[in-house]
Chain A
Amino acid sequence: MLTNHLKIAFRALWRRKFTTGLNVIGLALGMTAFFFLMEFASFHAGFDSFQANADRLFRIVGTTPEGSQDNVSPMMLAMRSQVHGIEAIPTFMTSASGIVTYKPDNASGASQAVTFKEEDVAYSNNDVFKAFTFQFLAGNADLDKPNTMVITASAAQKYFACGENYQRVIGKRLLVANQFAPTEYAVTGVVRNLPENSHLRGTMFFSLQTLANPTNLGDNSWARLVPDNGSAFLTGYLLLRDGTQASSLAKQISELSKKVDPSANITWHLQPIRTIHTGNGFSDPLPNAAALKYVVIAVSIALFVLSLAWINYINLSTAFGLSRAREIGVRKTIGATRGHLVVPHLLECAMLSVAALLLALTSVELLQSYFNSLLGAELHLGYVFQYGIGAYGIGAMLLGAILSGSYVALVLTGVKPIIVLRGNFTRSANGRFVRKTLVIVQFAVSIAFIAGTLIILRQLDFMSHRDLGMNLEQLLVIDGPQIVENNSLSGNPALVFKQEVERLPFVKQVSGSQNIPGQGYNFSAQGIMRPSGHSDDAKQSYKILQADENYFNTYQMTFDQGKGFQKSDNLGGFKFRSVVLNEASVTQLGFKSSSDAVGQFIQWGNPSEKGQRWQICGVVKNYHHKSLHDAIEPIIFLPSAAATGYFSLRVTIENVQANMAVLEALYKKILPGNPFTARFADDIFQKQYENDVRIGNLFAVFSIMAIVIACLGLFGLTAFAAESRRKEIGVRKVLGATDASIIALLSTEFLKLVAIAFVIACPTAFWLMSVWLEDFAYHVELRSGFGVLVFISSGIIAALIAFITIAAQARKTAQANAIESLRYE
Chain B
Amino acid sequence: MIKLRGIQKFYRTDEVETTALNGVSFDIQNGEFVAIMGPSGCGKSTLLNILGMLDNPDSGEYHFYEHEVASYTERQRAELRKKSIGFVFQSFNLIDELTVYENVELPLLYLGFDAAYRKQRVHEVLEQMQMMHRRNHFPQQLSGGQQQRVAVSRAIVGKPLVIFADEPTGNLDSKNGSEVINLLTELNKSGSTVVMVTHTPEFAEYASRTIHLFDGQVVTENFKSTAKAA
Contacts and interface: CB of A to CB of B under 8 A. Distances in A.
Contacts of B111: 335
A332 B109 contact: no
Contacts of B93: 326, 329-330, 333, 421
Contacts of B110: 331, 334-337, 340
A334 B82 contact: yes
Contacts of A329: 93
Nearest to A330: B93
Given A331-B95, A421-B89, A337 B106 contact: no
Interface stretch (A7-15, A209-217, A403-411, A647-655): A7-15
Interface string B129-167: 000000000000000000000000010001000000000
Interface in B51-98: 52, 54-55, 78, 81-83, 87, 89, 93-98
A803 B41 CA distance: 43
Interface residues of A, number: 22
Contacts of A334: 82, 87, 106-107, 110, 154
A1 interface: yes
Interface string A685-724: 0000000000000000000000000000000000000000
B19 interface: no
Nearest to A10: B97
Interface string A1-27: 100100010011001000000000000
Contact of A417 (B54, B83, B97): B54
B22 interface: no
B96 A15 contact: yes
B217 interface: no
Which of B55, B95, B106 has the most chain A CB atoms closer than 10 A to its own CB?
B95
Nearest to A336: B110
B55 A335 contact: no
Contact of B97 (A8, A333, A421): A8
B192 interface: no
Interface string A603-626: 000000000000000000000000
Interface in A300-345: 326-327, 329-337, 340
B78 to A, nearest CB: 7
B79 to A, nearest CB: 9
B8 interface: no
A333 B111 CA distance: 13
A335 B52 CA distance: 12
B74 to A, nearest CB: 8
Interface string B32-61: 000000000000010001001011000000
A330 B45 CA distance: 16
Nearest to B52: A333
A333 B54 contact: yes
A8 B109 CA distance: 14
A534 interface: no
Given A335-B81, A335-B82, A421-B89, A11 B97 contact: yes
A418 interface: yes
A815 B102 CA distance: 39
A592 interface: no
Interface in A396-422: 417-418, 421-422
Contacts of A12: 97
B97 A418 contact: no
B105 to A, nearest CB: 9
Contact of A327 (B81, B82, B95, B107): B95
Contacts of B106: 331, 334, 336
Given A418-B49, A418-B55, A422-B49, A335 B95 contact: no
A6 to B, nearest CB: 12
B154 A8 contact: no
Contacts of A422: 45, 49
Contacts of B87: 333-334
Interface string B179-200: 0000000000000000000000
Nearest to B95: A327
A326 B93 CA distance: 8
B93 to A, nearest CB: 4
Contacts of A11: 97-98
Contacts of A8: 97-98, 102
A333 B55 CA distance: 11
Contacts of A417: 54
Nearest to B83: A335
B199 to A, nearest CB: 16
Contacts of B83: 335
Contacts of A4: 102, 109
Nearest to A9: B97
Given A334-B106, A335-B82, A340-B110, A15 B97 contact: yes
A317 to B, nearest CB: 16
B47 to A, nearest CB: 13
Interface string B19-35: 00000000000000000
A329 B94 CA distance: 11
A12 B96 CA distance: 9
A391 B112 CA distance: 40
Interface in B91-123: 93-98, 102, 106-107, 109-111
Contacts of A330: 89, 93-95
A18 to B, nearest CB: 15
A334 B150 CA distance: 14
Nearest to B107: A334
Nearest to A333: B87
A340 to B, nearest CB: 6
B78 A327 contact: no
A8 B94 CA distance: 14
A337 B89 CA distance: 20
Contacts of A327: 95-97
A771 to B, nearest CB: 51
A372 B78 CA distance: 58
Interface string A416-459: 01100110000000000000000000000000000000000000
Contacts of B109: 1, 4, 340
Contacts of B94: 330
B54 A418 contact: yes
A395 B162 CA distance: 51
A584 B147 CA distance: 90
Which of A332, A336, A337, A418 has the most chain B CB atoms closer than 10 A to its own CB?
A418
A329 B89 CA distance: 12
Contacts of B82: 334-335
A335 to B, nearest CB: 3
Nearest to B56: A418
Contacts of A340: 109-110
A169 B15 CA distance: 96
Contact of A332 (B55, B78, B98): B78
B31 to A, nearest CB: 23
B21 to A, nearest CB: 14
Contacts of B96: 15, 327
Interface string A331-363: 111111100100000000000000000000000
Nearest to A340: B110
Given A334-B110, A335-B111, A336-B110, A421 B78 contact: no
A389 B98 CA distance: 43
Contacts of A1: 109
A793 to B, nearest CB: 46
Given A333-B87, A334-B82, A421 B49 contact: yes
Interface of A: 1, 4, 8, 11-12, 15, 326-327, 329-337, 340, 417-418, 421-422
19 contacts: A12-B97, A330-B89, A330-B93, A330-B94, A331-B106, A332-B78, A333-B52, A333-B54, A333-B81, A333-B93, A334-B87, A334-B154, A335-B78, A335-B83, A335-B110, A336-B110, A340-B110, A421-B89, A422-B49
Given A15-B97, A333-B52, 10 more contacts: A8-B98, A326-B93, A333-B81, A334-B106, A335-B83, A337-B110, A340-B109, A340-B110, A418-B55, A421-B89
Closest 4 CB pairs of A and B: A335-B82, A335-B110, A11-B97, A418-B54
